[in-house]
Structure 1
Amino acid sequence: MKRALSVTREENFPEWYQAVVDQADLAETSPVRGCMIIKPWGWGVWELVQQALDKRIKETGHENCYFPLFIPMSFIAQEASHVEGFAKEMAVVTHHRLKTVDGKLVVDPTSELEEPLVVRPTSETIIGDAFRRWIASYRDLPVLVNQWANVVRWEMRTRLFLRTTEFLWQEGHTAHATKEDALEETLKMLEVYRVLAEDILAMPVMVGEKPENERFPGADSTFSIEAMMQDGKALQAGTSHYLGQNFAKAQNIRFQSATGELEYCHTTSWGVSTRLIGGVIMTHGDDDGLRLPPRIAPKQIVIVPMLREKPEDAELLAYCEKLKSELDQLTAFGLPVRAHLDKKPVRSANKRWDWLRRGAPILLEIGPRDMAGDNVTLIRRDKLRDGDKVISTGFAREKFLSHAPGLLAEIQQNLFDEAKARLDGNIRSDLKDFDAIAAFFGAATDDDAQQGFRGWVRAPWARPSGADLEAIEVRLKALKLTLRNVPVGQGPASGVCVFTGRPAVEDIIIARAY
């Protein structure tokens, strides 16, 4: 049977990705260049990701709040390395009024702002200004806040969910009395992100610390979770930053210690974004469209009655309504099962493929013979085909109802296991010099579709810095390679650094990336 998408992952991965976004009805481009409209199915996925993460953020003691979209230019300018890191991406508001000239709307030149406003690229500076007012004593610490917001980073090359000018995210910001407390917070939230990625998104990740050249602008340390996509590239799926006292010193965030001394706070920030949906697509999608882990599927079980515009349709619909009502009483993953009955007056075959492309985990096709035998016909989205044949399985209705929560859990685990096998099986650790690494990845090309699958390399690393690190960046950039992170929990280092020939202190992940 022909695949549901017109392009396969192997033929052209970027085109396949866009086809999945389109066919799964997740999002579309907007009239504003680089921005996207998230459609109801895509928003439903994001809501479930958001709810799962928000619950865990609150369980770790953080409170939600909100800060302005507009940030005074002077705030941004207070932290030099922060400005340098974001300068090329900032959108700036300079005027506050329009006027009509010869029937056309134009910017009123007399409405120039006294101080330009930056449209939020991230909120360290404006939140730091609030921390300065909120914190006076050690008794006020720690301050643990989070906000769900949109941000703007002006992008030249955009791709829905993965890299857009405006995107949605959460950003946590905290202030602490000591470096130890702040580092503990940084790593605690990194673990929250790992759990989100692996347990909720079924997306296995490599947890580690970013090298110096990949740190968040103004941070002392940056940690990340990195996921392997089906084209072998890495996706940075979340970051957590120990900011040291850099922002505190720039914005005078101080507290009086128990001994009466004035000290600067140690601060952190951490965030994930709608980029996670792009990661889910590229981790789990197949040549028939999206495959959603049941935990983030807006509809986990979809019932498609095979209507024929005959009098018997009323009886069949009643049978399906009863089945949906029974499913609504069940729970999976500690929450009510999300069942949906598709009553649209559309051919059942078309409805079937619509839901399969969207990635609904379980599809139930119910016809007159199923109803007569008190049965259901089940299609699992994670195991859709045997070769070219779509696999469907008959179940007695009562048996299916008793097995439905377990089937959803099995699908969730199966998607994770499949992705974990891909990650574990495609990290080379036997390449001991840069020439071997360059040969493994091959020459870089501007055509992503022709790049081919390579996977990652795990190589000995000596933590070079300064001019040495800059020279390494140049060599890597020529091959479109990046240093991803230094995996946590490593044993003693061995061998020599693949870049410098010095004794290695740890291993680092090297990959092409989004």
Structure 2
Amino acid sequence: MADAGAKKSNTNAKSGGKKKEVKKETGLGLSKKKDENFGEWYSEVVVHSEMIEYYDISGCYILRPWTMSIWETMQAFFDAEIKRMKVKNTYFPLFVSPGVLEKEKDHVEGFAPEVAWVTRSGKSELEVPIAIRPTSETVMYPYFSKWIRGHRDLPLKLNQWCNVVRWEFSNPTPFIRSREFLWQEGHTAFATQAEADEEVLEILELYRRIYEEYLAIPVVKGKKSELEKFAGGLYTTSVEIGVMVMVHGDDKGLVLPPKVAATQVIVVPVPYKDTNTKEMFEACLRTVDTLTEAGFRVEADLRDNYGPGWKYSHWEMKGVPLRIEIGPRDLEKKQVRLARRDNSDKLDIPVSNLVEQVKDILDRIQENLFDVAKQKRDASIRVAKTWDEFMEALNQKKMILAPWCDEMEVEEDVKKRTKGEIGAAKSLCTPFEQPELPEGTLCFASGKPAKKWTYWGRSY
């Protein structure tokens, strides 16, 4: 980032240069390609798109406004939906006493290696260390038993928006594996398991909607295996497939779905020699006002120390879904040019039809991102009925759907047999929507009668 900043000063006098030359001078382009070095590409994208800034404590990241806006959009949707379900927000303390933490041993054992402890206040050692919550079950449930004195106090449906700390030691990665992260955690109590089961599926559907309707990521709803379930839980449901930055991003940078983008439309003036920039800037601001009044999130980039090419690259890096360009000819023809981030298509439209066209194109971008992601997802899935087929697909870095006997010992054996430098294969989830399982189908790993189809894969 310091290098890019230093090069900006060299660009000021050359703001009218060609796009390729400006990009080279400013260092805006990514140095790694997604298909060639995925890990380093991802690290570059999340920083250069201004989603995060690295902090001086490993595994902790500064979430910049570009990221917080996405979080707030998802939070607003989810919070409104759970309130319709009569869930109420609460807040419990960040700190946990050892006695409380150790009450639920099965639950705590799953988190023990990741629990961070406060052992000192100033220069004084604490008599009893205090844990920082990795999750809040052990903090909240003693008070549930105090507040619930009979069936008339049920159901109790609480949620909290908070941060948690899990002191992971394996390769911290922004948004994937960080030591502190924001989340919501719902904790509810019912009179019967049937009521609890029903709510679990209602909440899972809200998660699906966030992924598919907002982040444009297709998911598979299902149930975790006994080996992979949440520590101390009866069972764990999940949605599986990956994440927005990794799926939608390209070699230009971030690609944001319109529903979550902080800025859905960026307006850029395109002046030439002897252009009346005042008139052009006014047209840009009118465009912003018109679209803002119609409910879109819009900005104009009127900086005069950068050329249009630099601005195009800058906003492409940040993933803004739609760019509007306004040049001298556009003023004459009373039109604007639209440029899509998802597929680079360009279209000239009359100013009189601006709002309708922008709405239509943003809807198309949202839909296209989902469709392309689903095609990529489906292309990465392989069906494997034998161990050889499973290993072939695994070595091709595919997600595998395989018939399984549903035995924990067999899953542990799969992990042992596939363990390598890049990690072992594990079960991802058993989808609720099960393909037909013909009678006599055998487990891919044990040869025993198969009971279900389950997704498997490695983390990369």
TM-score, scaled to structure 1: 0.80
Q: How does 1:418-457 map to 2 (within 5 A)?
A: 418-429=372-383, 431-442=384-395, 454-457=397-400
Q: Mark the runs of 5 or more structure 2 residues left unpaired by the alignment.
A: 1-18, 24-28
Alpha-carbon distance in structure 2 between the residues aligned to 1:74 and 1:379: 59
Equivalent of residue 366 in structure 2, options 396, 412, 421: 412
RMSD value, Cα: 1.9
Equivalent of residue 475 in structure 1, options 417, 421, 425: 417
Alpha-carbon distance in structure 2 between the residues aligned to 1:394 and 1:80: 64
Equivalent of residue 189 in structure 1, options 203, 206, 216: 203
Give the counterpart letter for 1:16 in structure 2: W
Q: How does 1:149-298 map to 2 (within 5 A)?
A: 149-156=162-169, 157-227=171-241, 235=242, 279-298=243-262
Contact 1:7 1:16 in 2 (8 A): yes
Structure with the higher fraction of residues in strand conformation? 1
1:305 aligned residue: 269
Alpha-carbon distance in structure 1 between the residues aligned to 2:150 and 2:437: 43
Label 1:318 to 1:504 Cα distance change in 2 as closer, same or farther (>3 A): same
The offset of 1:316, in angstroms, is 1.4
Alpha-carbon distance in structure 2 between the residues aligned to 1:174 and 1:10: 43
Label 1:488 to 1:329 Cα distance change in 2 as closer, same or farther (>3 A): same
Alpha-carbon distance in structure 2 between the residues aligned to 1:496 and 1:40: 51
The offset of 1:400, in angstroms, is 2.8
Task: Give the paired residue count.
Answer: 429
Give the counterpart letter for 1:337 in structure 2: F
SS across alignment from 2:236: strand
Q: Does 1:144 align with 2:157?
A: yes
The offset of 1:419, in angstroms, is 0.6
Equivalent of residue 63 in structure 2, options 35, 38, 41: 38
1:317 aligned residue: 281
Equivalent of residue 76 in structure 2, options 51, 61, 69: 51
The offset of 1:455, in angstroms, is 2.0
Alpha-carbon distance in structure 2 between the residues aligned to 1:468 and 1:507: 14
2:46 aligned residue: 21
Alpha-carbon distance in structure 2 between the residues aligned to 1:53 and 1:13: 31
Alpha-carbon distance in structure 2 between the residues aligned to 1:374 and 1:119: 60
Q: Mark the runs of 5 or more structure 1 residues left unpaired by the alignment.
A: 99-106, 228-234, 236-278, 331-335, 385-390, 443-452
Give CA deviations for 1:486-511 in whole Å, capped at 9, x if unaligned. Answer: 01021552311112211111100011
Alpha-carbon distance in structure 1 between the residues aligned to 2:194 and 2:419: 35
Alpha-carbon distance in structure 2 between the residues aligned to 1:489 and 1:33: 40
Q: Does 1:461 align with 2:404?
A: yes
The percentage of aligned residue pairs carrying the same residue is 38
1:486 aligned residue: 430
The offset of 1:310, in angstroms, is 7.0
SS across alignment from 1:158: coil
Alpha-carbon distance in structure 2 between the residues aligned to 1:383 and 1:473: 40
TM-score, scaled to structure 2: 0.89
1:504 aligned residue: 450
The offset of 1:304, in angstroms, is 1.0
Alpha-carbon distance in structure 2 between the residues aligned to 1:310 and 1:317: 14
Give CA deviations for 1:336-376 in whole Å, capped at 9, x if unaligned. Answer: 21111122233222112111111111001112221222111
1:77 aligned residue: 102
Label 1:343 to 1:130 Cα distance change in 2 as closer, same or farther (>3 A): farther
The offset of 1:194, in angstroms, is 0.7
Give the counterpart letter for 2:378 in structure 1: D
Alpha-carbon distance in structure 2 between the residues aligned to 1:204 and 1:60: 25
1:108 aligned residue: 124
SS across alignment from 2:110: helix
SS across alignment from 1:486: strand
Larger mean Cα displacement after TM superposition, 489-498 or 362-371: 489-498
Contact 1:28 1:160 in 2 (8 A): no
Alpha-carbon distance in structure 1 between the residues aligned to 2:356 and 2:413: 61
